[in-house]
Copies of this chain bind each other. A is one copy, B any other.
Amino acid sequence: MISENLKGFKCLRCGKEFSLKQARYQCPDCSGNLEAVYDYARIGRKADAVKKSLEKGIYRYLPFLPFADTKLTPPLLVGGTPLVKSDRLSSKWGIELFFKDDTRNPSASFKDRAGAVALTVAREDGLDRISCASTGNAGSSLACLAASVGMDCIIFVPEKAPQAKIAQLLLFGAKVFAVQGTYDEAFDLCACVSTEIGCFNRSTGLNPWTREGKKTVSFEIAEDLGWEVPDYVFVPVGDGNIISGVWKGFRELFYAGFTQSIPKIVAVQSKNSDAVHKTLEKYKGKDVSPEEIEMIQVNATTIADSISVDVPRDGLAAVRAVRETDGFSVEISDEAILEAIKEISSNTGLFPEPAGATAYAGLKKALEDRKVKSGSRIVCLVTGSGLKDVASALKAAGKPISVSTDKAETLKILCGK
């Protein structure tokens, strides 16, 4: 059942409001992306139930979600991931540093938050098929969750997508189309075919419900900090949908009276995929309305494949998240990302893929540039597991010490004698 708290949509570009019946994917007027709007006073009255909920994972925040109950949610545990404080890295930088470890989701990425909510909305709508264009985590997440409920799932990937990622999709039982073209062409084909066959299209940017799942990360961060917010949240940015969710989550907590402020949100991008950063730089210090902002496009080549994006499909929301929270953006090299993988893994035991280490790499740059005050409380999102990209892990790893079976040789290395 659709939640009674859900009021409708608001366009992130032109600001017009629509009922749920008037709009479905994008703004009927300007084709901007839509944002779901709730009755926050009403949610606020349920604060006690939320805070005392025994539910694990994202459904403990049910009043903030578009459905009224969990009858049609997938049976896998999504969210409820650990917020890990790193004492050593905190001391090293003179800050209070936490990592939000979203590698611990069912398909080992943050995307499960989006998939779980989108898939539930599709089931509430009575649809029995769900689709998505993807080169990686979004697709494997959707296929994983669809398998858990026995729903038909159609994934469109560019034919050059890595074999390992295609293998995972196939194992989850998805119908996988390898499109002879680019990701953008796979995206368009998915949109076209989905409309034609009446299939729910979860593709990022187009679908307004993914943000409703992604925002739950902010609820968990605030709850784990005792319903306080950190000073900064560092977020890896590709298409801009995750950062838009983080922003929305903190806004909603504030609107509903759960928290007293909204943290500064920092967008981190690779220099080799920096459309959002470039756009932010272009409009820095300028008083422009969302409608006036034109996204810059780039030719992305970063090693961090999950945030390698030419045309950010939720870019305007990303730009607004940074500007409207008084945050900033940082760009870093791919080498800095690989270094960050090693530094995070060896200091915390977390094991991020390149995109998952990007937020921390950006934090280091911000500290160097003195953009962050010492003593600040900071959360870096870790969005995907290093096991998804072993090739990059190999680049960051170094070499083992080769020894014979004779113990004297090893003892000499260990004890220097």
Contacts and interface: CB of A to CB of B under 8 A. Distances in A.
A355 interface: no
Interface stretch (A168-176, A324-332, A373-381): A168-176
Given A75-B85, A390-B390, A351 B104 contact: no
Contact of A76 (B82, B88, B397): B82
A396 interface: yes
Interface stretch (A231-239, A314-322, A400-408): A400-408
Interface residues of A, number: 77
A148 B85 CA distance: 10
Contact of A176 (B164, B189, B342, B400): B400
A113 interface: no
Given A75-B85, A181-B405, A349 B164 contact: no
A145 interface: yes
A349 B407 contact: no
A90 interface: no
A145 B349 contact: yes
A164 B106 contact: no
Given A74-B349, A147-B345, A188-B405, 14 more contacts: A75-B85, A108-B387, A148-B349, A157-B400, A166-B397, A167-B390, A168-B386, A170-B400, A171-B393, A172-B349, A178-B402, A181-B404, A185-B405, A192-B407
19 contacts: A75-B85, A76-B350, A88-B150, A146-B349, A154-B414, A164-B393, A167-B390, A167-B394, A168-B351, A168-B397, A171-B345, A171-B351, A171-B397, A175-B414, A179-B403, A179-B405, A180-B405, A185-B405, A385-B387
Interface of A: 74-77, 82, 84-85, 88, 104, 106-108, 144-148, 150, 154, 157, 159, 163-164, 166-173, 175-181, 185, 188-189, 192-193, 196-197, 341-342, 345-351, 385-388, 390, 393-394, 396-405, 407, 410-411, 413-415
